[in-house]
Amino acid sequence: LSPSGLHNPPPPVHHHHHAHHHPTQQQQQQQQQMQPTPLQMGNNQMPNHHHHHNHNANVHHQKMPSPSSSTGGAAVAADPNHMFNNNSINNAKSNSRASSSSGGNVSVAQSTASTTQSGQSQQQPPVKTEQRLTHEQFRAALQMVVSAGDPRENLENYTKIGEGSTGTVCIATDKSTGRQVAVKQMDLRKQQRRELLFNEVVIMRDYHHPNIVETYSSFLVNDELWVVMEFLEGGALTDIVTHSRMDEEQIATVCKQCLKALSYLHSQGVIHRDIKSDSILLASDGRVKLSDFGFCAQVSQELPKRKSLVGTPYWMSPEVISRLPYGPEVDIWSLGIMVIEMIDGEPPFFNEPPLQAMRRIRDMPPPKLKNSHKVSSRLQNFLDRMLVRDPVQRATAAELLAHPFLRQAGPPSLLVPLMRGARHSNC
């Protein structure tokens, strides 16, 4: 696990621990919807709101469409001789919560090539299988899976709540029902891994669960993919973890609802790949919903593992960073990091540049809580079952749902006092 690129640390990356701007709740929320796509980061990103990241249907951050934005994780692009692409990482710091994806043929942690038995290092040429589709061919393929018609005929009162390098998120009113919806508008020409747009349409169209943001419909409008989804007024969990201290009943309540969503997705072979507080949205009654599916992957018996480097650095599991084949277990590690956010207010190593944080996650024992003296032994044990370096030994979502800590979970209404508007902290 010590690729050559790791011996020469990259130039320092300044981590500005971003100023906490507090956008309005709606902006915040929706910004989340936008997540810049895969490896786009830096300049074409959005403003630097602290840790609030992108949200899918209620964007908390301004990231764009691909549920993961690609900036903090941006780190990850990779030339064969370096662990990561430093430029994208430098830019990445502009939003340390952004997600990124390095595509399938970029190898990061092991990108130093594999060693043969004789000890020779063999460079593996990137495999380029498919022919690049033209924009028109890609658009035609997408047209096959979206709804026919023009959504503009049924939507009015648009309010833009977020903007990213790859698209925009708005709230609008659905004329036929009178309800507010969130609309993600993603420019096909600006996606770095445009094939991930199919996730937004196909995966979310086929999987429905009370703890997953509902996607109503999707359309092609000129050269943009529009995805119309449920609007969640409560904003992202990030807003809560950065401004409030949650008690253990509230933490258990969030975890139980998230684990129900993950248990369902994993049973269907779907790996989310970007679990973090920014991907968790709340309804006004405290119901918790998983969002930001732009980076998810479908596995099957024929293809049970994935290898591409996808996610947001501080929440990535050791096996993803090491470029080992991985499965749904990666979401459980990321959920463990999100539990640390709920206790400590931020993920481990958050004041370090993404590259350095990734090295630590890859090479060190699982991270520890700063506030471990404040947690019960049940909560500590629950966390210890998620932050296990060996994915085979890590608890599954179904196992965690039976953990004694979750007996403390209460109704969603327990979370209402934490939401913006109900809080009396000096925001």
State the CATH class of domain 235-426: mainly alpha
Domain boundaries, the chain: 135-230, 235-426
Q: How far apart are CA 227 and CA 172, in angstroms?
A: 12
Neighbours of 65 (CB within 10 A): 36
Do 345 and 243 form a contact (C-beta atoms < 8 A)?
Answer: no
Residue 307 sits at the vertex; the CA angle it makes with 301 and 309, to the nearest 5 degrees, is 140
Predicted pLDDT of residue 59: 39
Placement of tokens 């747009």 in the chain: 197
3-state secondary structure of 184: strand
pLDDT value for 374: 94
Q: DSSP string of 304-326?
A: --B---EE-GGG--HHHHTT--B
Strands, E assignment, 292-411? 297-298, 310-311
Give the tens place of pLDDT for each residue, 211-261. Answer: 999 999 999 999 999 999 999 999 999 999 999 999 999 999 999 999 999
In this structure, which amino acid lies at residue 358?
M
Residue 122 bridge partners (DSSP): 114
What was the pLDDT predicted at 424? 57
Closest to 57 in 3D by CA, of 161, 146, 188: 161
pTM: 0.75
Residue 171 DSSP code: E
Residue range 135-230 forms a domain whose CATH class is alpha beta
Determine the distance from the C-alpha atom of residue 102 to the mean position of all C-alpha atoms in its chain, rounded to a whole number.
14
Burial class, 378, CB count within 10 angstroms (exposed 0-12 / middle 13-18 / buried 19+): middle
- Paired sense of beta strands 180-187 and 167-174, if any: antiparallel
d(CA 45, CA 100): 12
Residues classed as catalytic? 274
Residues 145/132, Cβ–Cβ less than 8 Å:
no
Short-list 220, 172, 166, 160, CA closest to 191:
166
Residues in the chain predicted with pLDDT less than 70, given as ranges, are 1-94, 102-131, 164-165, 421-427
Cα(171)–Cα(359) distance, integer angstroms: 39
